[in-house]
Amino acid sequence: MKRSVTSALLLSAVLGGCATPALVPDASRLAPWTTQLRDSQPEGARLAIYRYRGRPFVFVAATHSTDTESPTFRLIRQAYEKFDFDTAIVEGVKYASGPNPSRLLTYVAESEAVGSFQPAGETVPAVQGALREGAVIWGGEPADSDVLALATGSGVSEADVLGFYVLRNVPQWLQERKIEGPSDPRTTPLVEAALAKNRAALGLGPNTLPDYASWAEWYERTNGRPFGDRFQTEEVGPLADGPHGTNRAGYAISRARDSFLLERVADHLGRGEAVVVVYGASHLPILRPALDAMLGPACYVGTDLSEARAGCRD
**C-beta separation of 231 from 187 below 8 A:** no
Residues 128-143 have a mean pLDDT of 97
Residues 40-49 have a mean pLDDT of 94
Contacts of 36 (CB under 8 A, 6+ apart): none
Of residues 155 and 135, the one with the higher pLDDT is 135
- DSSP symbols for the chain: -PPPHHHHHHHHHHHHTS--PPP---GGGSPP--HHHHHTSPSS-EEEEEEETTEEEEEEEE----BTTSHHHHHHHHHHHH---SEEEEEEEEGGG-SS-HHHHHHHHH---BTTB-TTTTHHHHHHHHHHHTPEEEEEEPPHHHHHHHHHHTT--HHHHHHHHHHTTHHHHHHTTS-SSTTSTTHHHHHHHHHHHHHHHHT--TTSS-SHHHHHHHHHHHHSS-SSTT--GGGGS--TT-SSHHHHHHHHHHHHHHHHHHHHHHHHHHTT--EEEEEETTHHHHHHHHHHHHH-S-SEEES-GGGS-HHHH-
Beta pairing partners, 302: 47
Asked if residue 15 has pLDDT above 80, the reply is no
Asked if residue 9 has pLDDT above 50, the reply is no
What pLDDT does residue 312 have? 83
**C-beta separation of 158 from 164 below 8 A:** no
Cα separation, 267 vs 39, whole angstroms: 32
- Helix 187-202 / helix 144-153 crossing angle, nearest 10 deg: 90
What pLDDT does residue 150 have? 87
Q: What is the pLDDT of residues 141-167, one digit of tens each?
A: 999 999 999 899 888 999 999 999 999
Neighbours of 296 (CB within 10 A): 11
Model confidence band, residue 175 (pLDDT cutoffs 50, 70, 90): confident
Residues 213-238 have a mean pLDDT of 95
Asked if residue 301 has pLDDT above 60, the reply is yes
Mean residue pLDDT across the chain: 91
Asked if residue 198 has pLDDT above 90, the reply is yes
What pLDDT does residue 307 have? 87
Asked if residue 46 has pLDDT above 90, the reply is yes
Asked if residue 243 has pLDDT above 60, the reply is yes
Cα separation, 77 vs 64, whole angstroms: 15
Give the side-chain half-sphere CA count within 13 A for 56: 29
Asked if residue 313 has pLDDT above 90, the reply is no
Neighbours of 83 (CB within 10 A): 23
Residues 63-81 have a mean pLDDT of 94
What pLDDT does residue 2 have? 53
Cα separation, 55 vs 37, whole angstroms: 29
pTM: 0.81
Give burial (CB, 10 Å; 0-12/13-18/19+) of 65.
Answer: middle
